[in-house]
């Protein structure tokens, strides 16, 4: 019901006042001024003659207050109609108040209801995770989920600023592809008219082509893995940023990854401190992260793992338990290199000292958050690449263009992929990756 009609029904007079619409995150600039905030009811309470309304507008939360000896004011009558998540426009004077969350309050003069929400399902009580996941479209409004996704947006912005600032060219690689990049077991197959296509697992192969055209490039987009395992670290659809640099070696790519991680960390710690506080993230371990990140070969990592009780054999890939054990040794991310060739992708350049291991690197986040970066140096020799394609039983026809890159001005080159959700998870201290993207695609969930 319109505020004018409501006032008439109550026999009260109402004169619309025009005030400037502002966002809560900018409120400090309006101290002492009359403004309007458009948002939703997060919470409300009354105490004696005072009414408290916690309003969210997508950029923050503000407490709006009103007091009166007379309960029959239009403002109080409107307040009484409000339920959790009702949408409204609230008008009043901004005033600095150290006790108020965020340091400012709104002395309400008017509430204009847009819609009264009935029976909002997510109440301040505890809910089960399946229930919250089923209501993910609403759960996003809760303060912790909101904070995580604000950090995510900052990470994405930092990534773009980092690469754009260093002269990398953004290349948008295709989502529909005729070939596999990261093994054939996690491919999503789809029809492509009368052919088969797969959803991209990584933009890397295409980036190797764009790197030969532009020198240093990056792609940034959604990638897909039909991962049959249900873990806290795997999404079916996740976002990855992938730089690729012509003439760069494994060591160059490790330095680039280190710089990127430190750049993102610093940005989030300075610009998203408030969100990290909302998440109750202990930032000390993040502030302590310094360069250089320790570098360990796979062979050097095995005895350390065994000392910590692991029974891992040479030739086996690290799982979550191994990643966690290694990360516990250090106060910063660790770079593990020189993995056995057999457990890594077909394109990895063998080590010149020992062809059984490859010039690949995995960055393991500190505090047990797992692999955040995977990459390395690519095979640049035509004959060797042809051999690897055959060994991996990959159909040569689909890779002819990729082989061309080794025929026409082939050079050593390197790059990596960083999973955005893994970074969000680590920086926010969120244990399960499902909370790091607005609508996670998981093994047993595609709704909502
Ligand atoms: O190690 P991965 O599989 O490497 C590649 O895809 C390379 N082609 C990248 C490159 O060199 N250009 O994946 C890279 C990163 C991982 O370190 C992890 O952060 C993230 O992508 N990642 C996942 N994140 C969430 N869910 C999954 N299922 C992921 N798989 C990989
Ligand atoms: Mg990997």
CA of residue 15 to ligand 2 center, whole Å: 63
- Encoding tokens for residue 245? 């640099």
Nearest CA to ligand 1 atom 20: 419
Nearest CA to ligand 1 atom 22: 419
Please report the domains of the chain, with CATH numbers, ordered by start residue: 3-115 (2.40.50.140), 132-436 (3.30.930.10)
Ligand 1 pocket check for 199: Cβ under 6 Å: no
Question: 332 CA to middle of ligand 1, Å?
Answer: 20
Whole-model pTM: value is 0.96
Of the candidates 221, 291, 288, the residue with the CA atom closest to the CA atom of residue 256: 291
- CA pair distance 44, 117, nearest whole angstrom: 14
Say how many C-beta atoms besides its own lie within 10 A of residue 237's C-beta: 17
Tokens representing residue 116 in the block: 């009264």
Q: Supply 140's token pair.
A: 């996003």
Whether residue 54 contacts residue 39, with contact meaning beta carbons closer than 8 Å, is answered with no
Minimal-distance CA residue to ligand 1 atom 1: 374
* Token pair in block for residue 129: 């995770």
Q: Which atom of ligand 1 is nearest the CA belonging to 433?
A: 25
Question: Which ligand number lies closest to the CA of residue 318?
Answer: 2
Contacts of 329 (CB under 8 A, 6+ apart): 304
End-to-end CA distance of the chain: 31
**Strand 334-340 to 295-297 pairing:** parallel
- Ligand 1 near 419 CB (within 6 A): yes
Contacts of 123 (CB under 8 A, 6+ apart): 84
406 lines ligand 1 (CB under 6 A): no
Give the number of the atom of ligand 1 that is nearest the alpha carbon of residue 416: 11
Contact 202, 419 (CB under 8 A): no
- Pocket of ligand 1 contains residue 202 by CB under 6 Å: yes
Q: 367 CB contacts (<8 Å, ≥6 apart)? A: 285, 327, 426, 429
User: Which of 187, 246, 372, 417, when mutated, tests ligand 1's pocket best, judged by the most ligand atoms within 8 Å of its CB?
Assistant: 417
In 287-347 the beta strands, taken as DSSP E runs, fall at 295-297, 334-340
> Which residue has the least CA distance to atom 18 on ligand 1?
419
417 C-alpha to ligand 1 centroid (Å) = 6
Closest ligand 1 atom to 236 CA: 28
Axis-axis angle for helices 420-428, 250-271 (nearest 10): 50
Residue-level pLDDT, tens digit, the chain, 448 residues: 789 999 999 999 888 889 999 999 999 999 999 999 999 999 999 999 999 999 999 999 999 999 988 888 999 999 999 999 999 999 999 999 998 888 999 999 999 999 999 999 999 889 999 999 999 999 999 999 999 999 999 999 999 999 999 999 999 999 999 988 898 899 999 999 999 999 999 999 999 999 999 999 999 999 999 999 889 999 999 999 999 999 999 999 999 999 999 999 999 999 999 999 999 999 999 999 999 999 999 999 999 999 999 999 999 999 999 999 999 999 999 999 999 999 999 999 999 999 999 999 999 999 999 999 999 999 999 999 999 999 999 999 999 999 999 999 999 999 999 999 999 999 999 999 999 999 999 999 999 9
Q: Is 423 helix (H, G, I), strand (E, B) or coil?
A: helix
Distance from chain centroid for Cα 83: 32
> What is the C-alpha separation between 366 and 318, in angstroms, rounded?
15
């Amino acid at each position: 019901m319109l505020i004018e009609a409501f006032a008439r029904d109550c026999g009260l007079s109402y004169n619309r006042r025009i005030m400037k619409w502002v966002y809560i995150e900018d409120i400090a600039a309006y101290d002492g001024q009359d403004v309007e905030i458009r948002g939703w009811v997060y919470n409300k309470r009354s105490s004696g003659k005072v009414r408290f309304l916690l309003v969210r507008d997508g950029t923050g939360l503000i407490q709006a207050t009103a007091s009166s000896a007379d309960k029959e004011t239009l403002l109080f009558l409107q307040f009484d109609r409000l339920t959790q998540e009702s949408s409204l426009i609230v008008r009043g004077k901004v005033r600095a108040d150290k006790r108020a969350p965020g340091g400012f309050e709104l002395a309400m003069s008017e509430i204009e209801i847009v819609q009264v929400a009935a029976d909002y399902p997510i109440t301040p009580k505890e809910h089960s995770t399946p229930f919250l996941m089923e209501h993910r479209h609403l759960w996003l409004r809760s303060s912790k989920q909101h904070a995580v996704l604000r950090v995510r947006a900052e990470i994405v912005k930092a990534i773009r600023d980092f690469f754009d600032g260093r002269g990398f060219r953004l290349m948008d690689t295709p989502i529909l592809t005729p070939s596999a990049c990261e093994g054939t077991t996690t491919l999503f197959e789809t029809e492509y008219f009368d052919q088969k296509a797969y959803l991209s697992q990584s933009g890397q192969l295409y980036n190797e082509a764009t790197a030969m055209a532009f020198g240093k490039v990056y792609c940034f987009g959604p990638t897909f893995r039909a991962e049959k395992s249900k873990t806290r670290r795997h999404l079916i659809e996740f976002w990855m940023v992938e730089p690729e640099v012509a003439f760069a070696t494994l060591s160059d790519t490790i330095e680039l990854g280190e710089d990127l991680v430190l750049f993102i960390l610093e940005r989030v710690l300075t610009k998203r401190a408030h969100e990290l506080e909302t998440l109750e993230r202990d930032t000390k371990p993040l502030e302590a992260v310094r360069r250089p990140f320790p570098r360990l070969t796979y062979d050097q990592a095995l005895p350390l793992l065994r000392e910590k009780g692991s029974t891992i054999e040479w030739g086996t890939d690290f799982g979550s338990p191994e990643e966690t054990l290694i990360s516990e040794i250090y106060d910063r991310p660790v770079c593990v290199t020189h993995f056995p060739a057999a457990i890594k992708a077909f394109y990895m350049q063998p080590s010149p000292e020992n062809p059984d291991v490859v010039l690949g690197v995995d960055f393991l986040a500190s505090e047990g958050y797992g692999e955040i970066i995977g990459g390395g140096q690519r095979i640049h020799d035509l004959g060797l690449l042809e051999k690897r394609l055959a060994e991996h039983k990959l159909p040569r026809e689909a890779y002819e263009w990729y082989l061309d890159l080794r025929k026409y001005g082939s050079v050593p080159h390197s790059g990596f992929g960083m999973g955005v959700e893994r970074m969000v998870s680590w920086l926010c201290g969120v244990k399960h990756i499902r909370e790091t993207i607005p609508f996670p695609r998981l093994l047993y969930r595609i709704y909502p």
